[in-house]
């Protein structure tokens, strides 16, 4: 060996052994972690066996009969109780219904119905759906589904739906009493996928303002929204009211897809971050279908999650105005994990943050009960009825694109506050207006007059129909003297009577023109919509946004 080779050997040999030592240490640490994890897994198995043993002992020895499935569910509920209120266990028998709402459809026959006077009456038929193809019309009565009688006392909507739904392309035999002939007929109907629409209404609020009402964010929401927006633009909409009141949220990507149509230039829409999940940014694309027109987002205390993502991004970028009341305050992201028995666990894995960096999740440090009582607290402190000076839960200031100060920690606070309008209604009046008896009278009036209703469109109905007084007279005639006196007492002002008549007209409009008809009537008396229109159509819009 040459001298140079000997020198290189002296240099590299210690380095080689050092490298081997380091690799050995790393492998040792990894092996330690692996063994610890195995011990943890063993502990989990032991604890699970212990739970099984306890439940089996209860089943065999307990003094009373007990449902062991409920014991499992209660055990899981207890396990989750220290966590946030949105981490939940969904039993197998409830999961399909929950998923249907978010998937945007289910397999059924395509009818809407009401239980009126212990009779199941079809109130609406899905256009081109299975029932429509089979010749069923509004007003027909469902007598039997298969061999099961569904008329009479004790029948429930859940029971009827469970009978009508089933596998796609399967056949269900439904015995109907037809409204036109009065005869009973057994009708075979082939079930198919029935959409659950998340866009309740898309109408023109005035000659340049489109109105879209979204009730949830499901797998089909963006497509429904895009279709509605395209149609409204054809009708002349250059500005938009997006109504997210009473919208509990849903899929994140449905919300970001809608925002992508409203916000430009690859701007940040929302980001998520968790203890075990790295930050994920969601950004707008290069171009959207409505990036320039004025926008008003309507929110209230029931607007949550994906609704707040939209409101937060629109507010942070000063893209539009937020009108209504402070939102729910849910800024947590859940992932759903399926269980072997068909149940599922929705586990919170991250928080989402608006573009300015604020979290809008309100505190749940005082427990789930206190968290759920937030609505009552807001009512008691006057926030819902006129007090707009409630201090923010988080005093840390964040800044919009135009340097307006906004806060996190408890929902999105609107730019324009609109309290409940208590001048038009009282609790007794609402109880009567939305009672089953009132619905029965309105439905009967519709059936008796449906062949004489010759309204060309919703606008024609809204302008021409004057039959509210006839409906009220029919309803009053059915009331016992004491209840009649209570109703008439509620009509203490022309405004309260007008509100009652408007509810009747809106329900009739729904039977004639579905939800677009209902909202066309309701919007005329909606103080939040009217406030939004006032802002959109005046200089106040630019003043609020600091333009």
Sort 291 into a burial class: Cβ within 10 Å, 0-12 / 13-18 / 19+: middle
Best CA proximity match to 308, nearest among 507, 47, 316, 237: 316
Would 303 be classed as within a structural domain? yes
Contact between 304 and 397 under an 8 Å Cβ cutoff? The reply is no
Q: Do 477 and 380 reside in the same domain of the chain?
A: no
Question: Does 287 have pLDDT greater than 70?
Answer: yes
Instruction: Write down the catalytic residue from 200, 300, 316, 415.
Output: 316
Would 37 be classed as within a structural domain? no
Would 91 be classed as within a structural domain? no
Can you tell me the distance from the alpha carbon of 505 to that of 171, in angstroms, rounded to the nearest whole number? Answer: 37
**Which of 195, 229, 246 is the endpoint of a domain?**
195
Q: Do 459 and 359 reside in the same domain of the chain?
A: no
Instruction: Write down the catalytic residue from 202, 218, 257, 305.
Output: 305
Q: Do 112 and 130 reside in the same domain of the chain?
A: yes
Contact between 331 and 276 under an 8 Å Cβ cutoff? The reply is no
Instruction: Write down the catalytic residue from 213, 330, 505, 531.
Output: 330
88-97, 172-181, 271-280, 342-351: segment of lowest average pLDDT: 88-97
Q: Is 305 a catalytic residue?
A: yes
95-99, 159-163, 276-280, 410-414: segment of lowest average pLDDT: 95-99
Query: Given this model, what pLDDT does residue 502 score?
Result: 92
Q: Do 497 and 362 reside in the same domain of the chain?
A: no
Q: Helix or strand or coil: residue 521? A: helix
28-42, 83-97, 144-158, 190-204: segment of lowest average pLDDT: 28-42
Contact between 248 and 327 under an 8 Å Cβ cutoff? The reply is no
Per-chain mean pLDDT for the chain: 88
Please give the average per-residue pLDDT across 21-28, as a whole number.
46
Would 404 be classed as within a structural domain? yes
Contact between 269 and 214 under an 8 Å Cβ cutoff? The reply is no
Q: Helix or strand or coil: residue 303? A: coil
Q: Do 236 and 359 reside in the same domain of the chain?
A: yes
Q: What share of the chain has pLDDT > 90, as a percent?
A: 62
Please give the average per-residue pLDDT across 228-246, as a whole number.
98
How would residue 445 be classed by pLDDT, with cut points 50, 70 and 90? very high
The structure tokens listed for 321 are 């105005």
**Which of 366, 400, 420 is the endpoint of a domain?**
420
* Domain count across the chain: 4
Q: Do 279 and 255 reside in the same domain of the chain?
A: yes
Residues 6+ apart with CB under 8 A from 333: 252, 272, 274, 348, 349, 350, 351, 352
DSSP characters for 58-120? HHHH-SS---HHHHHHHHHHHHHTTS-TT-EEE-HHHHHHHHHHHHTEEEE--EEEEEETTEE
Angle of helix 3-61 relative to helix 68-80, nearest 10 degrees, comes to 130
348 - beta bridge partners? 334
Would 323 be classed as within a structural domain? yes
Query: Given this model, what pLDDT does residue 19 score?
Result: 45
Please give the average per-residue pLDDT across 157-162, as a whole number.
90
Best CA proximity match to 131, nearest among 99, 195, 174: 174
Question: Does 35 have pLDDT greater than 60?
Answer: no
Contact between 368 and 357 under an 8 Å Cβ cutoff? The reply is no
Would 489 be classed as within a structural domain? yes
Best CA proximity match to 57, nearest among 43, 71, 77: 71
Q: Do 57 and 163 reside in the same domain of the chain?
A: no
Q: Do 208 and 116 reside in the same domain of the chain?
A: no
How would residue 18 be classed by pLDDT, with cut points 50, 70 and 90? very low
Q: What is the pLDDT of residues 397-433, one digit of tens each?
A: 999 999 999 999 889 999 999 998 877 777 777 788 8
Q: What is the pLDDT of residues 300-332, one digit of tens each?
A: 999 999 999 999 999 999 999 999 999 999 999
Specify the pTM: 0.86
Would 388 be classed as within a structural domain? yes
Question: Does 240 have pLDDT greater than 60?
Answer: yes
Question: Does 493 have pLDDT greater than 90?
Answer: no
Can you tell me the distance from the alpha carbon of 8 to that of 368, in angstroms, rounded to the nearest whole number? Answer: 69
Q: How many CB atoms lie within 10 A of CB 104?
A: 21
How would residue 47 be classed by pLDDT, with cut points 50, 70 and 90? low
Can you tell me the distance from the alpha carbon of 156 to that of 486, in angstroms, rounded to the nearest whole number? Answer: 30
Would 90 be classed as within a structural domain? no
Look-up of token digits 């959207």: 288
Q: Do 189 and 203 reside in the same domain of the chain?
A: no
Domain that residue 368 falls in = 199-337+349-420
Q: Do 267 and 371 reside in the same domain of the chain?
A: yes
Query: Given this model, what pLDDT does residue 271 score?
Result: 98
- What CATH number is associated with residue 144? 2.30.42.10
Q: Is 330 a catalytic residue?
A: yes
- What CATH number is associated with residue 256? 3.90.226.10
The structure tokens listed for 161 are 């739906």
Q: Do 227 and 333 reside in the same domain of the chain?
A: yes
Q: Do 209 and 180 reside in the same domain of the chain?
A: no
């Amino acid at each position: 060996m040459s001298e140079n080779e000997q020198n290189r050997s002296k240099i590299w040999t210690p380095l080689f052994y050092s490298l081997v030592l380091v690799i050995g240490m790393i492998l040792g640490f990894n092996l330690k972690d692996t063994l610890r994890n195995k011990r943890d897994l063993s502990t989990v198995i032991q604890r699970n066996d212990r739970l099984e043993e306890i439940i089996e002992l209860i089943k065999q020895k307990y003094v009373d009969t007990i449902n062991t499935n409920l014991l499992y569910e209660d055990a899981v509920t207890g396990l989750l109780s220290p966590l946030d209120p949105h981490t939940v266990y969904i039993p197998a028998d409830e999961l399909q219904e929950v998923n249907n709402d978010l998937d945007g459809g289910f397999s059924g026959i395509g009818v809407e119905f009401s239980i009126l006077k212990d009779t199941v009456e079809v109130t609406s038929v899905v256009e081109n759906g299975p029932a429509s193809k089979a010749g069923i019309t509004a007003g027909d009565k469902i007598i039997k589904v298969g061999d099961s009688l569904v008329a009479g006392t004790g029948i429930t909507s859940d029971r009827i739906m469970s009978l009508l739904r089933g596998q796609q392309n399967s056949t269900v035999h439904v015995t109907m009493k037809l409204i036109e002939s009065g005869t009973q007929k057994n009708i075979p109907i082939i079930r198919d996928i029935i959409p659950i629409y998340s866009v309740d209404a898309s109408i023109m609020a005035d000659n340049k303002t489109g109105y879209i009402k979204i009730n949830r964010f499901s797998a089909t929401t963006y497509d429904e929204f895009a279709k509605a927006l395209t149609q409204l633009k054809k009708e002349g909409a250059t500005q938009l009211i997006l109504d997210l009141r009473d919208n509990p949220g849903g899929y994140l990507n449905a919300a970001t897809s809608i925002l992508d149509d409203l916000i430009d230039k690859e701007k940040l829409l929302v980001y998520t971050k968790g203890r075990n999940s790295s930050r994920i940014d969601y950004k707008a694309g290069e171009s959207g279908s409505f990036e320039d027109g004025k926008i008003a987002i309507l929110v209230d205390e029931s607007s949550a999650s994906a609704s707040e993502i939209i409101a937060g991004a629109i507010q942070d970028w000063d893209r539009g105005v937020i009108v209504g009341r402070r939102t729910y305050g849910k800024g947590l992201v859940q992932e759903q994990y399926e269980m072997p028995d068909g149940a599922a666990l929705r586990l919170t894995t991250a928080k989402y943050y608006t573009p300015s960096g604020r979290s809008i999740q309100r505190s749940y440090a005082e427990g789930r009960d206190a968290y759920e009582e937030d609505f009552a607290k807001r009512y008691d402190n006057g926030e819902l009825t006129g007090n707009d000076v409630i201090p923010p839960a988080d005093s840390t200031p964040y800044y919009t694109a135009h340097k307006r100060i906004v806060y996190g920690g408890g929902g999105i606070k609107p730019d324009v506050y609109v309290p409940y309008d208590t001048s038009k209604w009282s609790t007794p009046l609402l109880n009567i207006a939305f009672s089953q008896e009132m619905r029965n009278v309105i439905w009967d009036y519709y059936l008796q007059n449906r062949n004489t209703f010759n309204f060309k469109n919703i606008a024609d109905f809204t302008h021409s129909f004057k039959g509210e007084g006839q409906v009220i007279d029919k309803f009053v005639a059915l009331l016992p003297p004491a209840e009649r006196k209570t109703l008439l007492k509620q009509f203490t002002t022309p405004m309260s009577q007008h509100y009652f008549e408007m509810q009747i007209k809106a329900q009739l409009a729904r039977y004639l023109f579905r939800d677009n008809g209902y909202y066309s009537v309701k919007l005329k008396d909606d103080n939040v919509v009217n406030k939004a229109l006032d802002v959109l159509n005046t200089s106040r819009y630019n003043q609020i946004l600091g333009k």
